[in-house]
């Protein structure tokens, strides 16, 4: 049997792609393992959004060469955004990388390749297990073609202590069954800082009929949380019927079953009122939550970022949401230190935090990415200034989050239990994805509960039921 391990970096779209591949590999008889140390096939799904993510990736791939020395038949493949634009570099830098498939490449081509690869791997694994002393890899693609000193390598050191894993929708009773479905991929927006349009290509939406089938299938398999994903979910357009995102959302909400639905990420420019209306009308299924990337509160910077909205328009749309869904949880993404950002621009962003009071803010220091328009822009801010702005923003957000979370004490909230943390504690989340620690020894994983909130901190709530 082939053991596979998928390491996923980056966004939820990558998690969904990894989940899809895990499903395929499981269907053809391979088995997902929880650590690189016991894998015959390692697939790394990569993220290029910030430079740090890429650096982490390279050191991770480098470390895998140690496993390849121990099990020379191991196949290591790199897929996703970095694979899209650094294919040659990945091949030339790492001898132990056997295949590279970019995020733009057809997932179907990759799947066909993996089916063949697994067959081949079965043979080479068996051969190696029977003749570990032999020259290995004759005729293999890019594999090590050296004599391997297997005798002194009988035990595999634990190179990767923190095992990561993804949920491939197989039955894992200890964890919430999540379904993450890419409804579209790519992006036509060309925000001036962002590499995504270059790594994932132009927008492509998947057929609504297929998406609905997938949702139904996943619900039958026990999924309680459906997340519809895309770089720009609200520019979704069904290639078969021309239906737009609000219609898709409504159709998903009309499917029978006990589940809830999230989506990410919408672009403020394409946000129409009818989307909020559908969310408000189907509040039993569609989560009372919006992730709404703002990026900056300064109109000058928003324009340089090519975001196509102003701070006022952004606020207006938040107003629509609040009028239709007064208790919605709202989160956002913010970049500080964009080229040309002055103290005044930064303060305009900070002011938006006070005006809107987001429940969470994902904040990032601007990272210069090749190919993007901002790459050429003059970046006069020092790293210290950027770090200072990030720290200041995060400190303000900590205060806001504590204030908002404290207001939930005494309220009854519906939560979905994700996993058991300790013998008497469960981890659950609200519709708005806020962590809730629930005291219970009962097996409630993958169930909805109504809990009373008894305490709050910056990052989580405490609930009893």
* 49 counts as binding ligand 5AD under rule CB under 6 A: yes
Choose among ligand 5AD, ligand SF4, none what residue 367 binds, the Cβ cut-off being 5 to 8 Å by kind. ligand 5AD
* 336 counts as binding ligand 5AD under rule CB under 6 A: no
Distance linking the first and last C-alpha atoms of the chain: 44
Q: From CA 340, how far away is CA 374, in angstroms rounded?
A: 10
* Ramachandran angles phi, psi of 131, nearest 5°: -130, 65
Taking the complex as a whole, how short is the minimal distance between the CB of residue 307 and ligand SF4, in angstroms? Answer: 7
Q: How many CA atoms lie less than 13 Å away from 131 in the CB half-sphere?
A: 8
* 194 counts as binding ligand SF4 under rule CB under 6 A: yes
Provide the sign of the torsion angle of the four alpha carbons 47, 52, 56, 58, taken in this order: positive
| 60: number of Cβ within 10 Å | 16
Residue with Cβ nearer ligand 5AD (5 or 309): 309
Residue with Cβ nearer ligand 5AD (50 or 96): 50
| 320: number of Cβ within 10 Å | 16
* 367 counts as binding ligand 5AD under rule CB under 6 A: yes
Strand partners, 43: 6, 77
Q: Are 214 and 221 within 8 A, CB to CB?
A: no
Among 105, 313, 333, 379, binds ligand 5AD (CB under 6 A): 333
Residue with Cβ nearer ligand 5AD (98 or 372): 372
Taking the complex as a whole, how short is the minimal distance between the CB of residue 388 and ligand 5AD, in angstroms? Answer: 16
Q: How many CA atoms lie less than 13 Å away from 153 in the CB half-sphere?
A: 15
Choose among ligand 5AD, ligand SF4, none what residue 45 binds, the Cβ cut-off being 5 to 8 Å by kind. none
* 369 counts as binding ligand SF4 under rule CB under 6 A: no
* 196 counts as binding ligand SF4 under rule CB under 6 A: yes
* 189 counts as binding ligand 5AD under rule CB under 6 A: no
Choose among ligand SF4, ligand 5AD, none what residue 366 binds, the Cβ cut-off being 5 to 8 Å by kind. ligand 5AD
Q: From CA 393, how far away is CA 321, in angstroms rounded?
A: 24
Stretch that binds ligand 5AD, among 150-158, 198-206, 319-327, 359-367 (CB under 6 A): 359-367
Q: Are 328 and 322 within 8 A, CB to CB?
A: yes
User: For the chain, percent helix, then strand, then coil, each to nearest 5?
Assistant: 40, 20, 40
Stretch that binds ligand SF4, among 189-197, 316-324, 350-358, 393-401 (CB under 6 A): 189-197
* 266 counts as binding ligand SF4 under rule CB under 6 A: no
Q: From CA 74, how far away is CA 71, in angstroms rounded?
A: 6
Q: From CA 239, how far away is CA 220, in angstroms rounded?
A: 26
* 232 counts as binding ligand SF4 under rule CB under 6 A: yes
Stretch that binds ligand SF4, among 22-30, 143-151, 176-184, 188-196 (CB under 6 A): 188-196
* 291 counts as binding ligand SF4 under rule CB under 6 A: no
Taking the complex as a whole, how short is the minimal distance between the CB of residue 369 and ligand 5AD, in angstroms? Answer: 5
* 272 counts as binding ligand 5AD under rule CB under 6 A: no
* 295 counts as binding ligand 5AD under rule CB under 6 A: yes
How many residues appear in the chain? 465
Choose among ligand SF4, ligand 5AD, none what residue 50 binds, the Cβ cut-off being 5 to 8 Å by kind. ligand 5AD
* 363 counts as binding ligand SF4 under rule CB under 6 A: no
Taking the complex as a whole, how short is the minimal distance between the CB of residue 246 and ligand 5AD, in angstroms? Answer: 22
- C-alpha to C-alpha distances, 173 to 24, 61, 170, 176, 447, nearest whole angstrom: 21, 31, 9, 8, 11
232: exposed, middle or buried (Cβ count in 10 Å: 0-12, 13-18, 19+): buried
- C-alpha to C-alpha distances, 124 to 40, 70, 72, 121, 129, nearest whole angstrom: 10, 14, 9, 5, 9
Q: From CA 178, how far away is CA 167, in angstroms rounded?
A: 7
Residue with Cβ nearer ligand 5AD (58 or 127): 58
Residue with Cβ nearer ligand SF4 (262 or 267): 267
Q: Can you give the binding site for ligand 5AD, defined by CB under 6 A?
A: 49-50, 193-194, 293, 295, 333, 335, 364, 366-367, 369
């Amino acid at each position: 049997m082939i053991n596979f391990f998928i390491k996923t970096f980056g966004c939820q779209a990558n998690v969904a792609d990894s989940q899809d591949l895990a499903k395929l590999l499981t269907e053809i008889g391979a088995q997902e393992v929880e650590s690189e140390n016991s894998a015959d096939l390692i697939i790394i799904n990569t993220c290029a959004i910030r430079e740090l993510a890429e650096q982490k990736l390279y050191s991770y791939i480098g470390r895998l060469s140690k496993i390849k020395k121990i099990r020379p038949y191991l196949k290591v493949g790199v897929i996703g955004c970095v694979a899209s634009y650094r294919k040659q570099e990945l091949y030339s830098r790492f001898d132990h990388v056997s295949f590279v498939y970019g995020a733009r490449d057809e997932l179907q081509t990759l799947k066909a390749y993996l089916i063949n690869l697994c067959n081949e791997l079965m043979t080479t694994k068996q051969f190696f297990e029977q003749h570990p002393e032999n020259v290995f890899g004759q005729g293999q693609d890019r594999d090590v073609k050296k004599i391997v000193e297997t005798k002194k390598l009988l035990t595999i050191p634990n190179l990767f202590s923190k095992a990561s894993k993804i949920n491939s929708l197989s039955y894992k009773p200890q964890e919430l069954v999540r379904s993450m479905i890419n409804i579209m991929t790519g992006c036509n927006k060309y925000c001036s800082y962002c590499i995504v349009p270059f790594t994932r290509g132009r927008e492509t939406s998947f057929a609504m009929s297929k998406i609905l089938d997938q949702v139904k299938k996943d619900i039958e398999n026990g999924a309680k949380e459906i997340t519809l994903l895309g770089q720009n979910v609200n520019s979704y357009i069904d290639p078969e019927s021309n239906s737009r995102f609000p219609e898709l959302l409504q159709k998903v909400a009309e499917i029978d079953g006990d589940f809830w639905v999230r989506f990410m990420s919408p672009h403020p420019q394409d946000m129409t009122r009818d989307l909020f209306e559908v969310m408000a009308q189907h509040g039993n299924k569609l989560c009372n939550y919006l992730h709404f990337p703002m990026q900056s509160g300064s109109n000058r910077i928003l324009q340089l970022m090519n975001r196509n909205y102003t701070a006022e328009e952004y606020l207006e749309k938040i107003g629509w949401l609040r009028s239709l869904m007064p208790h919605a949880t709202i989160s956002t993404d913010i970049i500080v230190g964009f080229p040309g950002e002055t103290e005044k621009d930064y303060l305009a962003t900070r002011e938006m935090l006070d005006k809107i009071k987001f429940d969470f803010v994902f904040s990032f220091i601007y990272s210069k990415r090749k190919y993007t328009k901002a790459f050429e822009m003059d970046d006069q801010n020092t790293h210290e200034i950027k770090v200072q702005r990030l720290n200041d923003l995060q400190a303000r957000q900590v205060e806001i989050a504590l204030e908002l979370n404290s207001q939930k004490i005494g309220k009854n909230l519906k939560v979905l239990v994700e996993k058991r943390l300790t013998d008497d504690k469960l981890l659950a989340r609200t519709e708005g994805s806020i962590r809730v620690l629930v005291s219970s020894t009962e097996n409630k994983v993958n169930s909805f509960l109504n809990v009373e909130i008894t305490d709050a901190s910056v990052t989580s709530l405490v609930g009893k039921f």
